[in-house]
Amino acid sequence: MLNVRFFQKILTPILFPISMLYLAIVNVRNFLYDIGFFKTTKVDGVKIISIGNIKTGGTGKTPLCIGISNYLNTLGFKTAIITNAYKAKQKSTLIVSDGSNIFYKTPIVNDETYMLAKKTHSIIVSTKDRLSAIESLNQFKPEYIIFDDGLQYRKIAKDLEVCIIDSERFYLPFGYLRDSKKSLKRCQKIVCFDGDCEIKSEITIKGFFDINGAFDKPKSVFVFCSIGDPQKFLISIKTLGIKINGFKCFKDHYYYTKKDIELLRSLKHQTGSEVLLTTYKDFVKIEQPGIVYLDIEAKLDYCALLKGVV
């Protein structure tokens, strides 16, 4: 993350004008939707909740989707989650889980999709075409459909638009904003994990786990991950008082090879670390003994967040 910021600063004379052009294109697209030039379809018989953000990278969308799904399930509602098939081997519409059984895992579907299937009782659909995905859900008759990363998808009308925000200021490629800040005006609820906003949330630690279940907090670790914001993960480990002997970062959504795992096990041994530690998003792509993951969840007032649609 720091290296990216460094190169962005060096290339400012080139990147900043491009980011202004990018913003102009985004604003034109949104304007065409606002005036009805691009059509938006209303889906009857189901309520659609969109969870999104205006920034690239890890902002907490997936933990929030999991939290909303599990909250609705506890109230007795049947829910479905539609995810983007980004970085998935299979791009066509797939029913990944019927809420009880998981039919596909990584790399057929991406890491976040498989994680949602593992951590919820929702029907999970992976797709590049959300209209097609909604049609595939007719057989299940869900009462709620959650769009994971749905803010920029405007072809379908939403009953609740939720946006997670943070302090990013600049647009791609100079910064990390991928949508206009004006888009926040069409969001009914704003959530933040840092700073002040309408609905405050926090990421809390559920504990340490391996393939066999709960695991005692380790004293020293070699950390690896392939997530949007690895620095947040490192900070969370440090706050728990765990010694970090080494760290290896892979690009977001990276699929680990056998050689990668062998290298990581070697680095753990070389650094004298007690365990290899990663995120649950990474663990679902490996699911092997000898690797520990730190599990988290999003804590917030779900009743307030879903007021008006539940």
Per residue, the 3-state secondary structure of 97-134, as one string, reads EECCCECCCCCCCCHHHHHHHHHCCCEEEEECCHHHHH
Q: Is 307 contained in some domain?
A: no
Q: What total of structural domains would you count in the chain?
A: 2
Domain membership flag for residue 29? no
* Residue 144, in any domain of the structure: yes
pLDDT tens-digit series, residues 271-296: 999 999 999 999 999 999 999 999 99
Residues 117 and 239 in one domain: no
Q: Which residue numbers belong to the known binding site?
A: 55-62
Q: Which residues is 222 bridged to in the sheet?
A: 246, 276
Burial class, 291, CB count within 10 angstroms (exposed 0-12 / middle 13-18 / buried 19+): buried
The mean per-residue pLDDT over the stretch 246-263 comes to 95
- Which letter does DSSP use for residue 177 in this model? B
Beta pairing partners, 192: 165, 200
The Cβ-side half-sphere exposure at 86, using a 13 Å CA radius, reads 9
Asked if residue 304 is part of any domain, the answer here is no
Q: Answer yes or no: are the C-beta atoms of 123 and 81 closer than 8 Å.
A: yes
Residue 1 clears pLDDT 50, i.e. is over it: no
Kindly report the number of other CB atoms within 10 A of residue 303's CB atom: 10
As a whole number, mean pLDDT of residues 37-62 equals 91
Examine the domain organization and report whether 79 and 190 are in the same domain. Answer: yes
Domain boundary among 136, 171, 197: 197
256 and 280 fall within a common domain:
yes
Mean pLDDT of 210-236: 94
Whether residue 24 is contained in a domain is answered as no
Instruction: Give yes or no: residues 114 and 234 share one domain.
Output: no
Average pLDDT estimate for 191-218: 93
Query: In terms of pTM, does the model score above 0.75?
Result: yes
Q: Check whether residue 193 and residue 242 sit in a common domain.
A: no
Do 143 and 268 lie in a common domain? no
Count of alpha carbons within 13 Å of 163, Cβ hemisphere only? 23
Enclosing domain of residue 173: 34-197
- Percentage of the chain modeled with pLDDT above 70: 96
61, 193 Cβ separation under 8 angstroms: no
- In the prediction, which pLDDT does 106 show? 95
- The domain boundary, picked from 178, 197, 216, lies at 197
Task: Specify whether 148 is located in the same domain as 217.
Answer: no
Q: Does residue 153 belong to any structural domain of this protein?
A: yes
Asked if the structure places residue 184 within a domain, the reply is yes
3-state secondary structure at position 186: helix
88, 209: one domain: no
Q: In terms of domains, do 186 and 269 share one?
A: no
Q: State the chain's mean pLDDT as an integer.
A: 93
For the cut 80, the answer to whether the pLDDT of residue 9 exceeds it is no
Instruction: Judge whether 107 lies within some domain.
Output: yes
Q: Please check whether residues 38 and 180 belong to one and the same domain.
A: yes
Better-predicted residue by pLDDT, 11 or 159? 159
Per-residue confidence (pLDDT) for residue 13, from 0 to 100 = 67
**Residues of the binding site for ATP:** 55-62
Instruction: Check if the beta carbon of residue 255 is closer than 8 Å to that of residue 106.
Output: yes
Same domain, 89 and 161: yes
pLDDT for position 168: 76
155 and 276 in a common domain: no
pLDDT tens for each residue of 88-112: 999 999 999 999 999 999 999 999 9
CATH of the domain at 292: 3.40.50
